[in-house]
Amino acid sequence: MATTNTYLNFNGNCEEAFNFYKSVFGGEFNYLGRFGDMPASEDYKVSEADKNKVMHVSLPIGSSILMGSDTGGEWAPGFVLGNNFSISVTANSKEEADTLFNGLSDGAKITMPMASTFWGDYFGMLTDKFGVNWMMSFNEQAQQH
């Protein structure tokens, strides 16, 4: 069965917040990537001001994972305090990821269709018809361990 993890969005202070969470909960980041790490694209160029912002960070806490990124400004023009979260679902298969994503897509605004990503996950994002942000992922390599 799929699992859910909380995904927090910040407006430039994600790294500060996650260093704080790490000091409280302990542990180490599974991953910390910056927007400057993204491969260059014709569709979007990362500005110098955003290159050092956090694209994704994950901190294991018990059997769950707290995740986050800097998504304010041009990354999420609708960002306001109070809507700075997404429910992140980790599926057990690509098929389950597609089934769940397609189910949530009814009346939704798809912000990123399901696709293979440069970081290795099969991943997509949407805002459902109730205004809840969802992230769907499947990592084949994690399933092999």
**Which pLDDT value is given to residue 52?**
93
Please, what is the end-to-end C-alpha distance for the chain in angstroms? 17
Per-residue b/e over 3-41, b at no fewer than 16 CB within 10 Å? Answer: eebebbbbbeebbebbeebbeeeeeebeebbbbeebeee
Q: Is the pTM of this model over 0.75?
A: no
pLDDT tens-digit readout, 18-49:
999 999 889 999 999 998 888 877 777 788 88
> For the chain, which domains are there?
8-72 (3.10.180.10)
